[in-house]
Amino acid sequence: MASVTIQHVTKAFGTAVVLDDFNATFENGEFVTLLGPSGCGKTTMLRIIAGFEKPTAGSVLFDERAVSSGKVFVQPEKRDIGMVFQSYAVWPHMTVYDNVAYPLTIKKVDKATVRKKVERVLQAVHLMQYAQRIPSQLSGGQQQRVALARALVAEPALLLLDEPLSNLDAKLRESMRFEIKEIQREYGITVVYVTHDQTEAMAMSDRIVIINRGVIQQVGTPREIYTNPANPFVADFVGKIEFLEGVAGDGRIELDGCGQTLPYAGPLSGPVIVGIRPEQVQYAAEGEGDLHGTVRTHFYLGDVDDCRVDLGGGKEVRVIADPYASTGLAAGKTLHLKVRHFHVFPRAEGDADFRKILT
Ligand SMILES: Nc1ncnc2c1ncn2[C@@H]1O[C@H](COP(=O)(O)OP(=O)(O)O)[C@@H](O)[C@H]1O
Ligand SMILES: [Mg+2]
């Protein structure tokens, strides 16, 4: 088992700084996900942990032992790590059994031990009955599980997974999430998982590290990240949200453009950004809502109603609500809306362009 501590890690390729003062600790046995848009530095961070890249500055510790620092550099093969990449490479000419056994056979582990360990891991990934097949006789998902088994067979202290499910179809991706979690529990290892898929991160992680342009935005449990996002980028990246600008003061927020207000007892005053998650908006009776508007578009999706409501002045809010709570929704209908919860972030005076950071 191993904890991982990343201290002030910065990585530059030439003049491009792709990780900027990265600090985080991943606890023993924890499932941590690095989540962020493509190009934000996730793979680079994983490769630094693995020892395939050296940080430009800062250090990486496994437990209390430095594996990368100004003075120390432990080679990847000495780090006791298993790793699976997006483009999982399994050897096409070897059977599943031999693919998985390979990391042990090159270490000259005795045959009986190899058999025991390979069988345990093949059982864990549900591939026992395919042990004598070659990869071309397996589906994509099964091949990915071969790669996973091979990464686990030497019983590493730390498993690094870089978008391991992104080449699989949606249904398989979902079932593999459960399998990876179960395997982690069985082996009791620390997992650092990389993905740009927020649902995957929410479903699997004990904690999520949200990264944008090489900078950590927030570290927290899925619930903390979702219910208490540190800034508009996080709020936007995880879950659905719509932003409105406004001005806070006197127990309320006056929303720009539409002349409507929301009750607000929080600490901010002056210009703010209000983030409203569509599932936090409910239909209300006339006189009981916070907001009102007319339905601009409406999609009945069976399990939910998804509408965009025009608040006036070009502002709108999205509502994802129980379709049984309202019938006869149609474009043009007037709605009263209660906002159960919303997020408020400070906004620099005259900063009309905060949306730029969202993309
Ligand atoms: N070896 C390299 N040389 C130069 N630039 C690189 C190298 N590896 C990654 N980068 C750049 O670093 C940034 C982060 O890349 P990466 O860590 O792969 O992001 P992610 O995995 O989040 O998509 C990107 O802009 C990428 O082009
Ligand atoms: Mg990547």
Mutation probe of ligand 1 site: the residue of 43, 161, 196 with most atoms within 8 A of C-beta: 43
- % of the chain surpassing 90 pLDDT: 76
Compute the distance from residue 188 Cα to the ligand 2 centre, in Å.
Answer: 25
190-227 core/surface letters (b: 16 or more CB in 10 A; e: else): bbbbbbbbbebbbebbebbbbbbbbbbbbbbebeebbe
Query: How much is the average pLDDT of 110-137?
Result: 93
Q: pLDDT at position 135, please?
A: 92
3-state secondary structure the chain: CCCEEEEEEEEEECCEEEEEEEEEEECCCCEEEEECCCCCCHHHHHHHHHCCCCCCEEEEEECCEEEECCCCECCHHHCCEEEECCCCCCCCCCCHHHHHHHHHHCCCCCHHHHHHHHHHHHHHCCCHHHCCCCHHHCCHHHHHHHHHHHHHCCCCCEEEEECCCCCCCHHHHHHHHHHHHHHHHHHCCEEEEEECCHHHHHHHCCEEEEEECCEEEEEECHHHHHHCCCCHHHHHHCCCCEEEEEEEECCEEEECCCCCEEECCCCCCEEEEEEECHHHEEEECCCCCCEEEEEEEEEECCCCEEEEEEEECCEEEEEEECHHHCCCCCCCCEEEEEECCCEEEECCCCCCCHHHHHC
Q: pLDDT at position 141, please?
A: 84
**Does residue 239 carry a pLDDT above 70?**
yes
Q: pLDDT at position 85, please?
A: 83
Confidence category of residue 230, pLDDT binned at 50, 70, 90: very high
Residue 320 one-letter amino acid = I
Unique residue bearing structure tokens 């997006």: 86
Q: pLDDT at position 291, please?
A: 96
**Does residue 252 carry a pLDDT above 80?**
yes
Q: pLDDT at position 322, please?
A: 87
- 29-48 per-position pLDDT tens digit: 999 999 999 999 999 999 99
Task: Specify whether the CB–CB gap between 144 and 96 falls below 8 A.
Answer: no
Q: How many CA atoms lie within 13 A of 246 on its CB side?
A: 28
- % of the chain surpassing 70 pLDDT: 96
Query: How much is the average pLDDT of 119-135?
Result: 93
Q: pLDDT at position 264, please?
A: 97
Domains annotated on the chain, with CATH: 4-232 (3.40.50.300), 240-347 (2.40.50.140)
**Going by CA atoms, what residue is nearest to atom 26 of ligand 1?**
39
Average pLDDT, rounded, for the chain = 92
Tokens of 161: 């997974």
Q: pLDDT at position 175, please?
A: 83
Residue scoring higher pLDDT (327 or 172):
172
Unique residue bearing structure tokens 């000495």: 78
Tokens of 328: 């006869």
Nearest atom within ligand 1 for CA of residue 47? 17
- 286-316 per-position pLDDT tens digit: 888 999 999 999 998 989 999 999 999 999 9
- 82-118 per-position pLDDT tens digit: 999 877 678 999 999 999 999 999 889 999 999 999 9
Distance (Å, rounded) from C-alpha 218 to C-alpha 226?
A: 11
Q: Of the given ranges (149-158, 159-168, 262-271, 345-354), which has the lowest mean pLDDT?
A: 345-354
**Does residue 359 carry a pLDDT above 60?**
no
As residues whose CB is below 5 A from the ion ligand 2, the structure lists 43
User: In angstroms, how far is CA 112 from the centroid of its own chain?
Assistant: 40
**Does residue 238 carry a pLDDT above 60?**
yes
Query: How much is the average pLDDT of 152-174?
Result: 88
Q: pLDDT at position 125, please?
A: 86
Q: pLDDT at position 331, please?
A: 86
**Going by CA atoms, what residue is nearest to atom 2 of ligand 1?**
13
Tokens of 305: 């109603």
Confidence category of residue 227, pLDDT binned at 50, 70, 90: very high
**Going by CA atoms, what residue is nearest to atom 14 of ligand 1?**
41
**Does residue 186 carry a pLDDT above 90?**
no
Using only C-alpha atoms, the chain has a radius of gyration, in whole angstroms, of 25
The neighbouring-strand residues paired with 265 are none
Q: pLDDT at position 1, please?
A: 58
Distance (Å, rounded) from C-alpha 74 to C-alpha 50?
A: 9
Q: pLDDT at position 274, please?
A: 97
Confidence category of residue 140, pLDDT binned at 50, 70, 90: confident
Q: pLDDT at position 355, please?
A: 66
Distance (Å, rounded) from C-alpha 152 to C-alpha 155?
A: 5
Q: pLDDT at position 167, please?
A: 78
Query: How much is the average pLDDT of 246-273?
Result: 95
Residue 231 one-letter amino acid = N
Unique residue bearing structure tokens 């437990």: 63
Residue 18 CB–ligand 1 contact under 6 Å:
yes
Compute the distance from residue 341 Cα to the ligand 2 centre, in Å.
Answer: 34
Unique residue bearing structure tokens 């898929």: 197
Query: How much is the average pLDDT of 275-287?
Result: 93
Q: pLDDT at position 171, please?
A: 82
- Would you put residue 58 in left (φ > 0), alpha (ψ -120 to 50) or beta? left
Compute the distance from residue 39 Cα to the ligand 2 centre, in Å.
Answer: 7
Unique residue bearing structure tokens 């007319």: 294
**Going by CA atoms, what residue is nearest to atom 16 of ligand 1?**
41
Q: pLDDT at position 354, please?
A: 62
Nearest atom within ligand 1 for CA of residue 194? 21
Residue 156 CB–ligand 1 contact under 6 Å:
no
Distance (Å, rounded) from C-alpha 330 to C-alpha 186?
A: 51
Residue scoring higher pLDDT (224 or 164):
224
Nearest ligand to the C-alpha of residue 45? 1
